[in-house]
Amino acid sequence: MRVMDCRNFKELLDSYLCGELAVETNHAILGHAEHCGACRDEMAARRALRQSLRRACSREEMSAEAIERMRARLRAEAGLADRATGAAVKTGRRGWLTRLFEARLLVPVAATAALLLLIGGAWSLYVVWPKAGPEQTVAEKNRVPELSERLIGESAGDHRNCAAKFLNATEPAEMPDSVREFDPACVRLDKVAAEGAKGLLLRSAHVCGYGERRFAHLVYTRDDRLISLLVTKRDARALKIGDVPPFDGLSAGLQQYEQVEQDRLALGAYQTAKHVVLVVSDLPESENRALAERLAKPVVEHLRSAELSRAALNPEERLGRLSPREWNRL
C-alpha cells in the first residue's frame, strides 16, 4: 500500500468522502488526518464543498404541474381512466390494446422528400424518416418509436420487393423445413400464423432478405391486397451495446407506423426478447392495425415460448430478457 503522505491523502480524499475506499485505506486516511492539521482543514473544506453543492443543486425542483402530467401519462399507460387530462393518450380499449401506443410519424414536407431523392436515391426514402416537427404536441412527441428506422425501412422494402412476386402465386404454400437454418423458432411458422390468418390467402412462405436483414416471410392476399408477415431476429450485439432499445417492446404492445413515400404502407410491429414481428400492407392504417393484432399475436406468443424454452436449455441465450441486475453485468 502507498504511504499516506499529504499528496496521496488529497488524491484519495474525495473517494474517502464518497465511501468508496477499502477499510484499510479509510484507516490510513484518518490516521494521516489525525496528525496533519493542513490535511484536516482540507478534509473539512471539501466536506463543506460537497454540502454546498448538494444544497445548491437541491433548489432545482421539478414543477408540480410536470409531476402531475407525468402521473397522468402513467395512468393512461396503465390503462386507467385518466381523470386529470383525459386527452393525451388513447385508452379506449382494454387488455392487449390498452398498452398499445402509437408512433404516428408525421407526413414529411415535400421538400425533404425531393432533397432526399436527389442525394440518396430512392433507397434512402425507406430509411430516412421525418423528424418530429416543432408543431407537434407534447403527447405526440412522447409516442417514441421503439423500432429502428432502419428496420422499418428494410421491412417496407422487403414487402415491396418480395411480396409482389407472389400476388398471383397458385402453388400451395408451406414454410420449408430449411427455415431452421435461419431460425429454429420459425419452423412451421405458417401453421402458427394460420390461427390469426382467417380470411387471408397464403401465397408464399419462405426465407428472404433485404440488404443485410433476413426475414421469415409469409405472403398473404385479401381481395388483391398484399399483406406480409415478417419475422426477423433482433441484433444481439446491438442489444448488448444498447443500439436497439433494450426493453422487451412487447410490453409496449403493438407499434404502428405509416410510411407515406410513394405508395402508402402501413406497418405494425411487435417485439419479443429476440425477435421482431411485423405486418406490412398497403391497407389503411386502422385496418392494418387490426390485422396486425390478429395475425401477429399467435406468432408472438409462439416465439416467446420458444425463446423461453431455449433460454431454459441454454441460460446464455437469455439476452433481451435480462433483469436490471443482469443488464448491469453485461
Partner 1 sequence: MEQSNSQQRLEAFEAEAVGYAGQLFRVALRVCRDREKAEDLVQETYLQAWRSFHRFELGTNLRAWLFKILFNVHYSRLRRERLNLTPVEETIAETIAYDPPAPQRLTDEEVLAALERLPRDFQIPVVLSDVEELSYREIAEAMQIPIGTVMSRLHRGRKLLRMELANYAREAGYKIAN
- In the list 61, 223, 263, 316, the residue contacting partner 1 (rule: CB under 8 A) is 61
If binding is defined by CB under 8 A, does position 5 make contact with partner 1?
no
For the CB of residue 95, give the shortest distance to partner 1 in the complex, in Å: 7
If binding is defined by CB under 8 A, does position 20 make contact with partner 1?
yes
If binding is defined by CB under 8 A, does position 301 make contact with partner 1?
no
For the CB of residue 250, give the shortest distance to partner 1 in the complex, in Å: 10
If binding is defined by CB under 8 A, does position 10 make contact with partner 1?
yes
If binding is defined by CB under 8 A, does position 328 make contact with partner 1?
yes
HEC profile of the chain: CCCCCHHHHHHHHHHHHCCCCCHHHHHHHHHHHHHCHHHHHHHHHHHHHHHHHHHHHHCCCCCHHHHHHHHHHHHHHCCCCCCCCCCCCCCCCCHHHHHCEECCCCCCCHHHHHHHHHHHCCHHHHHCCCCCCCCCCHHHHHCCCCCCHHHHHHHHHHHHHHHHHHCCCCCCCCCCCCHHHHCHHHCCHHHHHHCCCCCCEEEEEEEEEECCEEEEEEEEEECCEEEEEEEEECCHHHHHHCCCCCCCHHHHCCEEEEECCCCCEEEEEEECCCEEEEEEECCCHHHHHHHHHHHHHHHHHHHHHHHHHHHHHCHHHHCCCCCHHHHHHC
- In the list 3, 22, 35, 94, the residue contacting partner 1 (rule: CB under 8 A) is 94
- In the list 30, 66, 109, 115, the residue contacting partner 1 (rule: CB under 8 A) is 66
- In the list 25, 26, 136, 142, the residue contacting partner 1 (rule: CB under 8 A) is 142
The count of chain residues that interact with partner 1, using the rule CB under 8 A, is: 61
Q: Which residues bind partner 1 (CB under 8 A)?
A: 10-11, 14-15, 18-20, 38, 41-42, 45-46, 48-50, 52-58, 60-63, 66-67, 69-71, 73-75, 77-80, 94-95, 98-99, 131, 138, 141-142, 144, 242-243, 245-248, 251-252, 321, 323-325, 327-328
